[in-house]
Structure 1
Amino acid sequence: MNLFAEAIAWMLAPSQWTGSYALPVLLGQHLVLTAISVLIAAVIALPIGWLIGHTGRGREIAVAVSGAARAIPAFGLMVLLVLLLGVLRVPQAAVVTFVLLAIPSLLAGAYTGLEAIDRRVIDAAKAMGMTGWQVFWKVEVPLGLPLLVGGIRSALLQVIATVTIAAYVNLGGLGYPIIQGIPLRRFDQVLAGAIIVAVLALIVDLLLAAAQHAAVPAGLRTGRQAGRRSRASARPAAVTPAAA
């Protein structure tokens, strides 16, 4: 039996579906840690990103801070925070690590979404008598939503992949089979854990890809389709040489 088949057999074994370390329990822990971290990161990053995109100020600082945050090794940061905060605050240390990991993508999605809007659209909204607040909520946020959803998509995938290290500090999650299996040389278990994390990330990615497509305003989708049709009709038809 090859390793992949052994990993599938390990996942389907009845012992993996009962008890405190059952796969459904670990999946729930993984999703809870991911959701809490991304929600906290969104509360921090979205207002800052929208402010940068709306005012056009502070972009350079945001890019520098985001780049520095992306370079921080998540595992090293989590261990450092556990040492600084103490073993009684391990969950807080892990959540802070994952929040810092998610902020750059959310921040970039928020301000690039607003920056990408055609200034003529905003000028037209102001000419119609909209206040600055109305322009922001009724024009900028809806038009910037596709890129924002793209930022959420990137943040979620990064956090889903990284939450596996939470098992190192006894917080469970889908990293538990991987981390437990490595010292025991249970490579079927390690591969099974990796497959589950990969499948979870793929499902979330597909769902958010659909959400990103749906977030494009109907008028923009119609305009893009009309533009593609007009470009296709403008192409010269291929000339078939006459038969001799």
Structure 2
Amino acid sequence: MSGLIEFFADPGNWSGSTGIPVRIGYHLLNSLIALGLALAIAVPLGIYVGHTGRGEAVVAGMANALRALPTLGLLIVVVMLAAPLFSSSLVFTAPAILVLVLLAIPSILTGTSTGIQTADRSAVDAATGLGYTPMQVLTRVQLPCALPLMISGVRGAMLQIVSTATVAAYVSLNGLGRYIIDGRANNDFGQMAAGAALVAVVALVLELGFLLAGRLTISPGLRRSERRLKVTAGAAPAT
């Protein structure tokens, strides 16, 4: 504990290219880039699968396969294979971000497709009966109903990215993971504990941010429906 306090009390750890603010900035930048790429891939695919029902088994199998991949092994393999394709400044960063994208896709993909598939059937039928086109049903009914699960999937993906970006410091990705890797190399347990604490704080702040985003974007009616379902499930008698 004393080493942890000494690390945070040292002014030198709060300035320069290896200071805490810069490391947090790199960690967030790499995480947001990976999340943006994962969203660009997984959301359209999840919407297509959820709306049409086509390729559901393939997507589910792919998502499960990506979840089962060992993080550290995947990082090392991708860096070894992809490093020759990039210039020296991106030789570690680009492959590591690619791994973050791969690990984030399953949560977003599953949340999007499941959210659309489980949209209130009566609302979908009513919209169809009113003459809505399939695209209007998707954008005006299914996507708003799917928003809670979509946000939940993105939140899970973001936390996966933040934690994996810490491990990615093993292949020289800049960020908070450097404190853990460098601290282990120098037997500086205070630095290692500080790195772990900073990652936990960043993850907690992001979690709270997603909870706030959900409250601001999800319809109050949907939130009330979710609460009623939870209460009903909790009150159901055991069988």
TM > 0.5: yes
State the partner residue of 1:128. 130
State the partner residue of 1:57. 54
State the partner residue of 1:119. 121
Give the whole-Å Cα distance in 2 for the aligned partners of 1:94 and 1:34: 11
Provide the TM-score with structure 2 as the length reference: 0.88
Give the whole-Å Cα distance in 2 for the aligned partners of 1:11 and 1:219: 45
Q: 1:222 Cα shift?
A: 5.0
Which ranges in structure 1 are unaligned for 5 or more consecutive residues? 232-244
Provide the TM-score with structure 1 as the length reference: 0.87
Give the whole-Å Cα distance in 1 for the aligned partners of 2:174 and 2:195: 12
Give the whole-Å Cα distance in 1 for the aligned partners of 2:31 and 2:59: 23
Go from structure 1 to structure 2 and tell me whether the alpha carbon gap of 1:81 and 1:119 turns closer, same or farther (over 3 Å shift): same
Structure with the greater alpha carbon radius of gyration: 1
Percent identity over the alignment? 40
Whichever residue aligns with residue 90 of structure 1, its letter is F
Go from structure 1 to structure 2 and tell me whether the alpha carbon gap of 1:182 and 1:222 turns closer, same or farther (over 3 Å shift): closer
Q: Which runs of 4+ in 1 moved over 6 A?
A: none
Give the whole-Å Cα distance in 1 for the aligned partners of 2:23 and 2:116: 38
Over the residues paired in the alignment, what is the CA RMSD in angstroms? 1.9
Give yes or no for the alignment of 1:103 onto 2:100: no
Give the whole-Å Cα distance in 2 for the aligned partners of 1:224 and 1:164: 34
Is the CA contact 1:153–1:205 (under 8 Å) kept in the aligned structure 2? yes
Give yes or no for the alignment of 1:80 onto 2:80: no
Deviating more after overlay: 150-159 vs 112-121: 112-121
Q: 1:39 Cα shift?
A: 0.5
Which ranges in structure 2 are unaligned for 5 or more consecutive residues? 233-239
Alignment of 1:141-160 (within 5 A): 141-160=143-162
Is the CA contact 2:165–2:173 (under 8 Å) kept in the aligned structure 1? no
Q: 1:223 Cα shift?
A: 5.5
Give yes or no for the alignment of 1:27 onto 2:60: no
Q: Deviations over 1:140-198 (max 9, x none)?
A: 11110110000000000011011012322322100011000112111111001000001
State the partner residue of 2:173. 171
